[in-house]
Chains A and B, each alone.
Chain A
């Protein structure tokens, strides 16, 4: 009898543990949000100046709140310089290595994120700038740290990223149109600064703060034609590329010289 009770208790605690894990939100386990993108491949050609991709989706639980997140699959390793005053001059006084921040990060939400989910869930699913701040790691590589550095560097990074249109958060129903609580559409702008690689667009449906639906699209950005050839050659055959660059330059210089030289004798 005692043994059975023990086993029952063990099972119960395991279930509680399992439940706890489940409560830690597993997006893939939710109902599928069926989505479609106007294109899944963006090609960078000579006249590329960024692109716009339209997304359409069906909300599996009508009337729920929607948050859509665009991130680059790669995280960035970047270094930030912090300037400070030394005598009359401004110079770099410290440097931070930052890891774990996504290269690109955009969010469209049908209303403010904090009204849709709790801070804990937002952090879990990496929704909102605060979640990024928790995730990224800063390491002082030069200079002396001060307590406000973390905030300063984080705000500085947001400013740089937002200026390049690589980060933004729009919490506005006008930006994420939902028809009859079910059909939604919106678009993401990929700025020219968005480099080659894979990007994922995740759609989350929340009902009273709980995740009830999830969908994912993958968008790939690739260089094509001359752009691709120049990039590949410069990175993989640097000796050939360097010599080519010099020859083309000398050739072009002399050619123009000859053309103008002839013109000058008239």
Chain B
């Protein structure tokens, strides 16, 4: 399936994937992050149970300390 991840088209070898699986697949290991799918904020405790489907628009933002 194809998704839009951080404004770039990504081809994933699956028909659907959980947020947690996507993080492992893409090696997004930094823990402080925000994930939105189609504009909806995904709570951290729902990463295992939230599914990403074909055509979804996914944004992942790392939160770096400093300010």
Is the pairing of A and B real?
no
